[in-house]
Amino acid sequence: MSQMIIASQLDEDYNDVIRQRLGSIHPEAQVIGVPAGVPSDLPPQANILLLRPINVRGYTAPDTPPPGWPYGAQWVHLVSSGIDFYPQWLFNGPPVTTSRGSAADNLAEFALAAIFAASKHLPDIWVKDAQWNFTALRPLKGTTLGILGFGAIGESLAQKALALGINVVALRQSQAPFSAGVEAAKDIHDLFARADHLVVAAPLTEATRHIINRDVLGSAKPGLHLINIARGGLLDQEALLEALDNGQVGLASLDVTEPEPLPDGHPLYTHPRVRLSPHTSAISTNSRNEIADTFLANLDRYISGSELANPANA
């Protein structure tokens, strides 16, 4: 392959990492920064497109592609794991791959941090003066962690939890067997009924939208700690507020909502049993290399003519 031009919507510090690593393995490759958003007027020589999420912060892409799409692009790589932040027409052209798995450990660690914070009453137990009041802290060993969705994130989380002596029960769409130590739930109601902490790590599709509804939350083990690190659309937020108010759900740690951000004054901001973070669980100080690792591994496959990993329709 004589020419390889990569049009990238990533920030320049991310592009620089890719450029540096390409220099020693594919010096013929060139990375050109292009604006984020709906790809338009791409350099005609660009045959690879690195794409950031488009349908975010209230913006929705047009239902039809821009004139000239896909330009010269022969392969589109998404820097996110999910595909719900992109218009449908994007998947009707050149092959599209995702960065599935690149942030799995980050997300798993975040979920565990939320579990530790809840069980150990952090930061509530920090003291600011000489008035010390002791609080009994809940152990994690012997508790049950439920995982809804069991891809790379679920696998990473399960192994970390098992190492801490936590029982793990999981549910996923495929019939593939779980790894050693992970028990399969009979259905979503069984999963919610057994879990002390439940992590949502499933993809958002038309079939899974509001899969966690009033009926499912009604099956929850009283006082359940619900942790959503996937997509806000998986959860019926009105039903969650009801479950929090009646005590069926004891705590909700939410890194995602619908919409994002929530409008000012939304009750999830101020509910005493909600911990809300700004969709940051996948982002790390090493994200530049994590994204580069996934992209460059697929680039080697692209150059050799091999089947690309993480196809968007898988």
According to the model, what pLDDT value does residue 3 have? 76
**If 0-12 CB within 10 Å is exposed, 13-18 middle and 19+ buried, where does residue 88 land?**
exposed
Q: What is the rounded distance in angstroms from the CA atom of residue 49 to the CA atom of residue 93?
A: 12
Q: What is the rounded distance in angstroms from the CA atom of residue 195 to the CA atom of residue 172?
A: 15
According to the model, what pLDDT value does residue 291 have? 96
Full set of structural domains in the chain with CATH: 4-102+284-304 (3.40.50.720), 104-276 (3.40.50.720)
According to the model, what pLDDT value does residue 314 have? 57
CA angle 187, 156, 118 (to 5 degrees): 75
Distance of CA 278 to the CA centre of its chain: 12
Place of tokens 């101020």: 270
According to the model, what pLDDT value does residue 198 have? 98
Q: What is the 3-state secondary structure (H, E, C) of the chain?
A: CCCEEEEECCCHHHHHHHHHHHHHHCCCEEEEECCCCCCCCCCCCCCEEEECCCCCCCCCCCCCCCCCCCCCCCEEEECCCCCCCCCHHHHHCCCEECCCCCCHHHHHHHHHHHHHHHHCCCCCCCCCCCCCCCCCCCCCCCCEEEEECCCHHHHHHHHHHHHCCCEEEEECCCCCCCCCCEEECCCHHHHHHHCCEEEECCCCCCCCCCCECHHHHHCCCCCEEEEECCCHHHECHHHHHHHHHCCCEEEEEECCCCCCCCCCCCHHHHCCCEEECCCCCCCCCCHHHHHHHHHHHHHHHHHHCCCCCCECCC
According to the model, what pLDDT value does residue 2 have? 58
According to the model, what pLDDT value does residue 204 have? 93
According to the model, what pLDDT value does residue 58 have? 84
Q: pLDDT of the chain along its 314 residues, tens only?
A: 457 999 999 999 999 999 999 988 888 899 999 999 999 999 989 999 999 999 998 899 999 999 999 999 999 999 999 899 999 999 999 999 999 999 999 999 999 999 999 999 999 999 999 999 999 999 999 999 999 999 999 999 999 999 999 999 999 999 899 999 999 999 999 999 999 999 999 999 999 999 999 999 999 999 999 999 999 999 999 999 999 999 999 999 999 999 999 999 999 999 999 999 999 999 999 999 999 999 999 999 999 999 999 999 75
Catalytically active residues, by annotation:
231, 260, 279
Give the contacts of 254 (CB within 8 A, at least 6 positions apart): 227, 228, 232, 235, 268, 274, 275, 276, 277
**If 0-12 CB within 10 Å is exposed, 13-18 middle and 19+ buried, where does residue 263 land?**
exposed
